[in-house]
Amino acid sequence: MAEGVVSGVSGRPTKSLRAVLVPLALAQFICSFAGSNMNVMINDISEDLDTTVQGVQTAITVFLLVMAALMIPGGKLTDRWGRKRCFLLGLTLYGAGALISAVSPTLGVLILGNSILEGVGTALLIPPVYILTTMLFHDTTSRARAFGVISGMGGIGAAAGPLLGGLITTAISWRAAFVFQAVIVATIVVLSRKIQDPVPPDPTRPFDTLGAVLSAAGLVALVMGILQADNNAWLMAGLMAAGALLLLWFFGHVRAMERRGAEPLLSTALFANRTSNLGLVTQNIQWLMLIGTSFVVATYLQVVRGYNAIQTGVIFTAATLGILVSSLAAERLARRHPQRSLIVAGFVVTLVGIFLLLAMVKGSPSAWAFAPGLLLIGLGVGVMLTPSVNVVQSSFPDEQQGEISGLSRSVSNLGSSLGTAVAGTILVAELVDWSYGLAMTSLAVTGVIGLVAALMLPREPAPTAGRLP
């Protein structure tokens, strides 16, 4: 094993490990940033490219959906191609997509660059981030710290996306925001030179192509069906039915491969772990609430209240501050409280934030009425991001990290795409105050489901002094 791969006896990562963690955390930051920064550019993009709010919503949702649909195949390919190689290939595709988006003359070209190329690139580069973290950081303490940094950067990227996107759009252009992404990606490529793959790739490892096609097509059909809810009820029903049938075919295909001793895209054994299953539910709903709230509030401010990109982005500073504060406190909180307690507390605080957005915003014409609710949502999501990831990833041995990492990231990104698709579709169907309230209520309902899943997680002993759970 390469020098510096193991962490020190105190659980604190060595200098070389900290150098490896920087590009991994930056990669999670930029991918999460990309999932939310376009929310404040809705008016600018729709006017520049002669499209509609629904058109921009489609581009955002397809980007998140491509990530979700391809994250499981991306995780499996790390075993065959190698984790670092997949990481660099994903960064290359992402950077190319960002540059194409920056010069796109039409919505179709923007979807090609942002939704397709950046989405595929993200699906290739994100699984290695979590696999490498799990494999390089061996002891629980250093691994929890590393996941805390990466998850925190992901949350900060999602929450800061509207603010940074608004600043760049107002000061220069919405196109410059994609150039910013390309610059960050180039920086990550340079910093990733020190990353060493702890396990050599296995080119003979089989890859379930049919399973990859079926799972991706099924997820795409389901979410695209939701996007048709306000346009064509028959098309919506048809797409969702097709998606459900494709996913049933996928699971039947997986079971058939396992019975004959072949290696499927996704092992059914991953779903035999009750703790991991509940953790996946909490991950999905955390991102559904965060990205769904970001899209609904940003769209409402711009389209209904007439705010520009920078005004909308500044209001989201509250959410960014909330996630930043809770991320900085993550290590201390993990020393003192069980992971289950942190996840439960995170859902409670986030739900209070959503209720504040419903109550205070309706009763006040001031844009700053959004700040208390957004602050609590940022605090709540930030508190539970790291323990949810750690619960899932730590439930499986190293040899299954490729599979569970892909599944974990797929579930999280599916939550992001569902947040934009479900709450966004309710909002844009009729952009008025009551549709805003209905969209936020739908997010609150899903948050209650997440809270129930968190309460069902097994109880664990409180961490001892100086140790993370």
Helices 371-393 + 140-171 axis angle, to 10? 140
Q: Which residue carries 């992402």 as its tokens? A: 94
Angle, CA of 43, 48 and 50, to the nearest 5°: 90
Contact call for residues 62 and 119 (beta carbons, < 8 A): yes
Rounded CA gap, 448 and 123, in Å? 29
pLDDT of 288 above 80 = yes
Rounded CA gap, 10 and 282, in Å? 31
* Region of poorest pLDDT, from 2-16, 107-121, 343-357, 427-441: 2-16
pLDDT of 12 above 60 = no
The count of other CB atoms within 10 Å of the CB of residue 125 is: 28
What was the pLDDT predicted at 252? Answer: 93
The 10 Å CB-count burial string (b at 16+, else e) for 213-224 is: ebbbbbbbbbbb
Q: Which residue carries 């769209």 as its tokens? A: 299
pLDDT of 331 above 90 = no
Return the amino acid letter for 257.
Answer: M
Mean local confidence (pLDDT), 234-246: 88
Name the token pair of 112: 């090609």
pLDDT of 468 above 60 = no
What was the pLDDT predicted at 351? Answer: 96
What was the pLDDT predicted at 469? Answer: 35
**Helix, strand or coil, per DSSP, at residue 219:** helix
What was the pLDDT predicted at 139? Answer: 67
Residue 329: DSSP 8-state? T
Confidence of residue 409 (pLDDT cuts 50, 70, 90): confident
Sign of the alpha-carbon torsion through 62, 63, 68, 70? positive
- List, as one string, the DSSP characters of 423-436: IHHHHHTS-SHHHH
Residues 6 or more apart whose CB falls under 8 angstroms from that of 189 comprise: 88, 91, 92, 95
Contact call for residues 338 and 198 (beta carbons, < 8 A): no
Contact call for residues 107 and 52 (beta carbons, < 8 A): no
Q: Which residue has the higher pLDDT, 420 or 256?
A: 256
Average pLDDT, the chain: 83
Q: What are phi and psi of 306, to 5 degrees?
A: 80, 25
Contact call for residues 139 and 62 (beta carbons, < 8 A): no
Cα dihedral: 276, 277, 279, 280 (round 10)? 120
Contact call for residues 185 and 97 (beta carbons, < 8 A): no
pLDDT of 434 above 80 = no
